[in-house]
Structure 1
Amino acid sequence: MTSTLVEADRTTRPYAEDPDAVLRALRSSADGLTDEQSAARLAQVGPNRLPEAPRRPALLRFLSHFDDVLVYILLAAAVLKALLGDWVDFAVILAVAVINALVGFIQEGRADAALSSLSTMLSLDANVLRGGRWAEIDSQHLVPGDVVRVRSGDKVPADVRLLEATNLQVEEAALTGESVAASKSVDAVGTDAGVGDRSCMLYSGTIVTAGRGLGVVTDTGARTEIGRIQSLVAGVEHLQTPLTRQLARLGKQLSWLILGMAALMLVIGRLIHDFALDELISAAIGFAVAAVPEGLPALVTITLALGVQQMARRNAITRKLTSVEGLGSVTTICSDKTGTLTRNEMTARTVVTHDGRYDVDGIGYSPEGHVLLDGRPAPLDVHGDLRALVEVAALVPDAHVDLQGDHWTLVGQPTEGAMVVLAQKAGGGTPGATRRGAVPFESATKYSATLDELPDGTRRVHVMGAPDRLLDRCTTQRTSTGAAALDRARWDAVVDELGGQGLRVLATARRPAAPDEGDAFTEVGHELEFLGVVGIVDPPRPEAVQAIADCHRAGIGVKMITGDHAGTAIAIAREMGIVGEGHVEALTGTELEAMSQEELRQRVEHVDVFARTSPEHKIRIVRALQSHGEVVAMTGDGVNDAPALSRADVGIAMGIKGTEATKEAADIVLADDNFATIERAIEEGRRIYDNIRKSVVFLLPTNGAQSLVILVAVLAGLALPLTPVQILWVNLVTAVTLSLALAGEPAEPTIMARPPRAAGEHVVSRSALALILVASATIGAATLFTFLLEKDLGADDGRAQTTAVTTLALGQMGYLFTCRFLGSSSITPRVLVGNPLIWVATGALLVLQLVFTYAPFMHDWFESAPIGLRDWGIALAAAVCVFVLTELGKSVSRRILE
């Protein structure tokens, strides 16, 4: 039975076949299945639920955070400490690695949670025809061939081919991106129809907003449209961010460098200076401990975590640490239209009557705004043509808007809500009117009507609906001088013009009611008076228009990917500033379906509008852009966006109107559903990356200088100026004080005026590498010189080493100010202001170094000794020299290498 149903589904498309053919293919009938048939099918096809998402055990997910070359180096340093017998140091280094993994484990959201969240969209029960009787059953027991019925407010329990439909409208925005409910009918559609055009199908998890329907279940569980999206999310390959790739590359380079230098030191120490083997091994371990940047993983994690907090304050909630930096490297934003670039609140924008064209200001469902003629309010007592149209807008709709807190919400259909708000803005309304009858909207007629008794006793029929259907029923039109013959050609041109602007057009008409019309009112007639049309749009977010302009100035492309029609999408894209006023090329889902991936790859960079797209299309578009080296951010709010959000370098979900599945698949959730927040988050991401780069450039010379001191001492046959435990001390105090100060650096003024960095750009640029080498040599030379000077002045090893450690710490402090401005000189008063963390970190370092120097227990642990004013003076002078020389090196390297 299973194979029969599957084969039938592959050879026939339910939406392209008539109902009888679908019933035959499913071996069912209009009377549904018997209990025995349904039980047999249930045993073969399984329950109507989505398979549970496979989840890795928590332990494995935690251990995955150790799978990094830099962490391997960190663990190797801990092992070396254990070999030395320094168990306290071993515990400290291991704790750094564990804390790093814990922060990542706690912060990161998992896309596999998106799979389980999809199940919450499924209906819990279904009204099914079994054995000739209607029954309410658990929706998990539905099988293909079952006949079910739905009504307004129901959640569709499975994928269903309609057999009957009465005024049926379904909210499918989560699947299709359509901003208004879709009208449904029984008629078959073409075999190439996309999900949004399959008017004879209902899809699992969507909501019936009006009417009722009867249909046969075609697919259940994993074979539904939602199930297919689930499989797409599960099969998406998750990509590393540029920072992750760069740090992995840096870790490998450092590991090879450390191994090479340690081997060279062993050979020279043994062959030239004839050191004992145990001394050489001890020196090599000290060199490795000095060279390993054990603070780097923690530093990057903490910098990203601070960035997460800062982005949260800017309404961007980060679910994955590395996505903070990834957002800063974005080169292209692929944005859904409905609810992301637009408000998902239908708004009347233009009113056209015979006598004039009126503009409507205000957006959304807030009734604040006016109807304007030539930029001035148009009072209804002066403009009778407008008053007649507004009367229809006030009386026909069943929708209304309510103020909930500070936000206006709609109860009813979006287009009807737009007309109600239009009437309120115009100041219209007939509080004394009484509805005597109504003709509800039907997809077959595409209009609705009411029979109203007005306060003066006049009784009229008011009609609102599709322009072509109303024009077919009108014989006259309202003018300033009264009724005149209908000018059909003129109104067809107006409708085409408004449609070309991406507006959804509603027409209005009326006629006097016959004396005998009353509660039995069922027909609007064919002698209507045409009043005019209203152009309705899902308005762009005003702040998003500015944000798109800012993105373009920052070298970031913006592409619209929507389930809406191409004409509407292009009109909105023009209004948003995504495309210009000339000819705009748009690709539709049908065209994408006919393209190979290579053909799409060749065209994707030149197309900014993609319309009538499916989830697979969105993934293909993202992949095509990534094949050009683009770092892609994908925004969305519907279930249909979840697979593409998972595939993108950075997935961004809407927090208010987004589905749970979308939020779980995303890396970042916008708490305010505001596209402008993306632009601010990109700026924050760039700032964070800049600060990580500054921190890396600052931290590496600490290890470089330490390893250089030991290497030179071994090669020259000298006593070690620093012991391994003293090296660990400097690494720890600089990592927890000075290194963290750079995480608070403010964004540079030109940060959003420069293009995105190249995806393959190394975190350490050539000029930064030159600065690291200069700083390592300068700090190392100052430390070694201080040690030798102290020994020459008669100091013992403890005092000389303590002065060397102090020089190393103060040298790092001087170098910190150099790293504040990598692209410009730090010899400026600005280096002293703008980041209070600099002074907090400097003060903390000095306090810790005083404890290291004068606390007796530190003398026991770290072999330090008290030093005098002379020694402090030598260390401070060396630190000033480090600042001056590294500034000189920075200037020279920038001129030569950039």
Structure 2
Amino acid sequence: MTDQGDPSIARSDPSLTDAADVARALAVDPETGLTAAEAARRLAEHGPNELRSTKKNPLWRRILAQFTDPLIILLLVAVAISVVAWIVEGAHGWPIDAVVIGAIIILNAVLGLVQEARAEQAVAALSVMTQAQSTVLRDGELRTVASAELVPGDLLVLGEGDQVGADGRLLRASALRIAEASLTGESEAVEKSATTLPEPVPLGDRLDMVYKGTAVARGTGRAIVTETGMATQMGAIATMLDETREEATPLQQEVGRIGRLLGRIVIVIAIVVMLTITLIEGIRTPADFVTILLLGVSLAVAAVPEGLPAIMSVVLALGVQRMAKQHAVVKQLSSVETLGSASVICTDKTGTLTTNQMTIERIVTASGTVDLSGAGYAPIGRAAVNGEPLEPGALRTEAQIVLGAGSLANDAQLAEHEGVWEIEGDPTEAAFLVAAHKLDGTVEATEQYGRIGDVPFSSERKMMSTVHRRADGTAVVLSKGAPDVLLERCTGVRVGDAVVPLTPERKAAALADIEALSQAAYRTLGVAYREAPEFGATGPTGGSGASDATGGSGVSDATGGSGVSDAAGESDATGARAGGASGPIVEPDESHERDLVYAGAVGIIDPPRPEVPPAITEAHRAGVRVIMITGDHPATAARIAADLGIVEPGQAAALTGTQLDALDDEAFAQAVRDVSVFARVAPEHKLRIVDALQDDGLVVAMTGDGVNDAPALKSADIGIAMGITGTEVTKEAANMVLADDDFATIVEAVREGRVIFDNIRKFLRYLLYSNMGEVLTVFFGVVFAGVLGLSDASNESIVLPLLATQILWINLVTDSAPALAMGVDPEIDDVMARPPRGMHERAIDGRMWVGIVTTGVTMAVVTLVTLDLFLPGGLIPGETGTVDVARTAGFTVLVFMALLTAFVARSATRSAFHGLFSNRWLVGAFVLGVVLQVLVVTWAPLQVAFGTAALDGAHWLWCAVAATSVLWVDEIRKAFVRATDRRRAASGIPAVRDAGRRVAGDGGSRHPSSLP
């Protein structure tokens, strides 16, 4: 429909307008929805369904922002002073210092803009990955679209857990309850109705309306979208909100603290250097004053890594994109640091630790037990008894009846699409369809059965029944359900080809078999049947009620309607109701579920994902405790936990929600410390468990998929939503979304989070290494200028070991490309071999400070030795050379050492030669830095700009060899550190961690006897 109707009718107050009138006003058919073409037209007209975001700063503002940093302002002041001094001295030639510093400021601004742009692009890519989705009816078909693409007139299809994508008028509602706390503050979910309101009411009482940003807590419904974007009620609130400042994350605070600390230290050093020069050299001319001032400012600018926040943002963004490629979509960059610090992972069982593909592994009948191999929905496997193939006989006949009847008393469908087996319907029912294929002859034996009626499953009855007519016209009732309930309706039991009375002894034996299955953590379902002459076309047959292996055990084949697709891979449209001699439909009721013959029971389990046990082992190796929190049966939870390695076999059984309710706060906290499996828990238990873990100082990651999981996810340090089974509400509350619902992905995300934080520490270490070298070189070069022979060899009124422009050049070359390259460094250290990082653990610890000072002193000593070596005087008898040559050689050595520290800084303990060429970006940045330094020394225009002089072959050889000293000194230091660590490990002394933090990798209970 393209006629727009009269939208004003719908928008005046749609809660007072009949839903049919709203549909007409918005020109939409409630049965088919908008066409795709019309939806596209309306999207172009109304714009995307998004709240107005903060206006993006124009380019000129972003450029201006690059010059507002206090250190950059200092440089600009220095440029102004340099120009003024140049004018006072007669304005001869070019003000070289001012031009060079100005060029460096501009180049620094360009790099800052590029880094900001890369970070913005990465965040924009993440926002696309985490877009909210809505289900709509278009062209008569249900479609999932991005909520941003909703338009007025769209038909929203709402289900439990959905986020309401736009404001809408309800067309229909079935037990629909909407959580509107985000809009109205109402804590309880509001029950909705499609009935038109008789008079205007406040927003919270408009029961026939749904609103953008709220969530479906229960039930289903359909609504016509009346408003989108800023026209919604949420948009109205957004227009009233002032901009809020985003709180800095712990890592950002730490980086800011480091910057402020370094700033204070360097300002003090700069002042001391300037005073020292003044006292030693004196100030004779305005040019001397400018020289001293430029040196102090340049030293301050070079020593403080002012680009650190921008580099950190780029590194976080690139790391998050890598995580997304591994199916872990982190919604906020700030969550990465928390993820890498996770010390506990609280995980659901179904679908995360397990495949969420119910599998029948065991069949128990009167004659014994049959085991079925194979897992999941692929119908591949075999039947065996005690490891041997199941032979023809009574047990095989009974097993075929159980699987056959269970397959027909079934509403699920199984189909193969492009080599992947998929189901529609209940997974437990689908397990029968899969199992029937594993017992030869079962599927083929039931082509004569056609479904003609059913008694649906109900939670009160705990069973369901179907009526099937055979090819000869006789009928049979097939029932499946809870075994104990089913046995109460049985009068006989199938034994081989005969039916015998269900005596108390046989009933007790059947119940014992079922209990044994339950103790083995299986979910149990019983199967029974009876002849149904009342539904037969030709009257009762007097038979046993189920055929043998050759007469049809109650399962249709691939074309007979068990819900299994044919060879072409297309699912049977009528599913389990197809096949056989169907005939007229009948309407059985509970009264027909009597005098049944008990066939047997099956043990069903959701098998663990094969990749999970290694992932849990890896988590424990990393000191990360894994806790299972599930609503499943305690025995099932305990078995799966033991199979996966969450707990050791024989450790304390799972604690249930009921048991937790009986504990006081202290006992509850102790239970959470000691037990790693919780079963039959409610959402409030999950929230309480998370809070207890956090009270112990642990960093908690929590998974969830349902609406009720949202509070726990929001409370956890890292909330992880399931991308496949998770609701929109859960995804909204979470910090991370698992695209594949796989626990192993969480562990990989923790690894990636640790690698990202390691990389942040790497470039922080690198920047401080090189900056410390520059500061110490200038400071000691000024203090010991006379000892080194600088004063005697120069006619300059102010003799400096490095010029201000050279210091700024080092800062430009070493603080950009290599630092960015280190942000994408691969894993060098084994990040999963150490305990989790404490949230309050400093990014720069004592060991790093030792490395910073050691490397800085090494760089300063080697640079000053180079100066002395190429000067005629000083401590080292050297060649007859000029100050310009000696200074250029020292400048070059310092640049080469600064570039080499990028490889040194990749690990605090491991050799720089380990994986030396594994980071091609870092190698490229190193080569680029060397090439640029060669240009500065050899190209005449740059020689003038940076005060350098040409070097001969001997000079270059010395620079190259001397620069490597920073590698050898650090190798010695790291060897000492490794030896110390080995001695500590051999003596049993643990690594120093945060005081009071538990090592969370024990995997389970330590004091099981203390708990109920």
TM-score by length of 1: 0.75
Shift in Å at residue 532 of structure 1?
0.8
Please give the per-residue CA displacement for 1:359-387, whole angstroms capped at 9, x wherever unaligned.
22222222222333222343667711111
Corresponding residue number in structure 2 for 1:867: 951
Letter in 2 for 1:757: R
Is contact 1:463–1:524 with CA below 8 Å preserved after alignment?
no
- Aligned counterpart for 2:703 among listed residues 635, 640, 646: 635
User: Where in structure 1 are there 5+ consecutive unaligned residues?
Assistant: 1-35, 43-51, 128-137, 151-155, 161-194, 206-215
Q: Is 1:803 matched with 2:815?
A: no
Q: Is this contact kept in 2: 1:714–1:720, CA < 8 A? A: yes
For 1:865 and 1:784, locate their aligned partners in 2 and report how far apart those are by CA, in whole Å. Answer: 17
Distance in 1 between the 2:178 and 2:734 partners?
26
Report the count of equivalent residues: 777
SS in 1 for 2:509: helix
Cα drift, residue 701 of structure 1: 1.7
Q: CA deviation at 1:252?
A: 3.4
Q: Please, which runs of 5 or more residues in structure 2 have no aligned partner?
A: 1-12, 20-48, 80-100, 137-146, 148-153, 159-165, 180-187, 195-205, 219-233, 239-244, 538-584, 786-797, 873-878, 985-1012
Shift in CA distance, 76/389, structure 1 to aligned 2, threshold 3 Å: same
How far the C-alpha of 1:760 sits from its partner, in A, is: 3.2
CA distance in 2, matches of 1:65, 1:623: 42
Query: Structure 1 749/825 Cα, relative in aligned 2: closer, same or farther at 3 Å?
Result: closer
1:252 aligns with 2:264: no
2:122 maps to what in 1? Answer: 107
How many percent of aligned residue pairs carry the same amino acid? 36
Matches within 5 A, 1:316-355: 316-355=328-367
* Change beyond 3 A, Cα 1:497–1:83: farther
**Residue 801 of structure 2 is aligned to residue 721 of structure 1:** yes
* Greater alpha carbon shift after TM alignment, 87-96 vs 298-307: 298-307
Deviations 1:238-290 (A, max 9, x none): 99766445434433332332233234345545566655765543332122012
Tell me, yes or no, if structure 1 residue 287 matches structure 2 residue 281: no
Does the 8 Å contact 2:901/2:966 carry over to 1? yes
Whether the aligned pair in 1 keeps the contact of 2:169 and 2:210 (CA below 8 Å) is no
Per the TM alignment, residue 353 of structure 1 is displaced from its structure 2 partner at its CA by 1.0
The CA deviation at 1:65 is 13
The amino acid across from 1:371 in the alignment is A
Aligned 1:197-236 pairs, distance under 5 A: 226=216
Shift in CA distance, 825/126, structure 1 to aligned 2, threshold 3 Å? closer
Write the deviation string for residues 716-771 of structure 1: whole angstroms up to 9, x where unpaired: 56622223332232223223454455456543574433333344333333222212
Cα distance in 1, alignment partners of residues 431 and 58 from structure 2: 49
**Judging changes above 3 Å, is the alpha-carbon distance between structure 1 residues 576 and 824 closer, same or farther for their aligned structure 2 residues?**
closer
Partner amino acid for 1:93?
N
- Deviation digits for residues 642-699 of structure 1, max 9, x if unmatched? 4444443333333333334444544443333322222233333333333433333222
- Where does residue 513 of structure 1 map in the other structure? 532
- 1:82 partnered with 2:79: no
Quote the offset at 1:404 in angstroms. Answer: 2.5
Paired residues of 2:169 and 2:209 also in contact (CA < 8 A): no
Taking the aligned partners of 1:534 and 1:686, their CA distance within structure 2 comes to: 45
Letter in 2 for 1:509: A
Counterpart of 2:940 in structure 1 is: 856
**Counterpart check, 1:556 vs 2:624:** yes
Q: Distance in 1 between matches of 2:735 and 2:349?
A: 19
Distance 1:83 1:64, change over 3 A: closer
| Structure 1 range deviating more: 349-358 or 857-866 | 857-866
Go from structure 1 to structure 2 and tell me whether the alpha carbon gap of 1:887 and 1:645 turns closer, same or farther (over 3 Å shift).
Answer: same
The answer to whether the 8 Å contact 1:352/1:533 transfers is: yes
| 1:489 alignment partner, one of 491, 508, 522 | 508
> Would you say 1:378 and 2:390 are equivalent positions?
yes
CA distance in 2 between counterparts of 1:109 and 1:603 reads 43
Q: Deviations over 1:328-376 (max 9, x none)?
A: 3321111122221122232223221111222222222222223332223
More helix by share: 1
SS at match of 1:722: coil
Aligned to 1:672: 740
CA offsets per residue over residues 861-894 of structure 1, 9 Å max, x none? Answer: 4333332212212312321333223333444466
Relative to structure 1, is the Cα distance of residues 288 and 329 closer, same or farther in structure 2, using a 3 angstrom cutoff?
A: same
Q: 1:769 is matched with which residue?
A: 849
1:411 — aligned with what?
424
1:276-315 to structure 2, matched below 5 A, reads 278-315=290-327
Distance 1:239 1:602 in 2: 33
Shift of 1:62: 13
Question: How big is the shift at 1:78?
Answer: 1.9
Tell me the TM-score normalised to structure 2 length: 0.67
Instruction: Work out whether residues 639 and 661 of structure 1, in 8 Å CA contact, stay in contact via their aligned partners in 2.
Output: yes
Q: Which residue of 2 aligns with 1:454?
A: 470
| Alpha-carbon distance change, 733 to 389 in structure 1, aligned in 2, over 3 angstroms | same
Deviation at 1:303, TM superposition (A): 4.0
Q: Is the 8 A contact 2:127 2:331 kept in 1?
A: no
| Corresponding residue number in structure 2 for 1:699 | 767
Query: Given the alignment, which residue of 751, 770, 784 partners 2:864?
Result: 784
Which residue, 347, 353, 357 being the options, matches 2:369?
A: 357
Q: Determine the C-alpha separation between the residues in 2 that align with 1:159 and 1:655.
A: 22
Counterparts of residues 12-27 of structure 1 (less than 5 Å): none
Secondary structure (helix, strand or coil) at the match of 2:69 reads helix
Backbone CA RMSD of aligned residues: 4.6
Letter in 1 for 2:397: G
Aligned counterpart, 1:846: 930
Q: Distance in 2 between matches of 1:860 and 1:597?
A: 75
* Distance change >3 Å, CA 363–CA 894, structure 1 → 2: closer
In 2, Cα distance between the equivalents of 1:729 and 1:139?
57
Structure 1, residues 478-535: CA drift from partner, whole Å, max 9, x if none?
A: 1236223322223333333333444332110011222664654514242111011122
SS of residue matched to 2:844 = coil
How far apart in 2 are the matches of 1:631 and 1:280?
Answer: 50
Cα distance in structure 2, aligned partners of 1:877 and 1:514: 100
Pairing partner for 1:264 from 272, 281, 295: 272
Tell me the distance in 2 between the aligned counterparts of 1:421 and 1:63. Answer: 65
Does structure 2 retain, via aligned residues, the 8 Å contact 1:399–1:417? yes
Describe the superposition over 1:806-858 as per-residue Cα deviations: whole angstroms up to 9, x where unpaired. 111222344444344532445x6x56555555543433232222222223332
Amino acid at match of 2:928: A
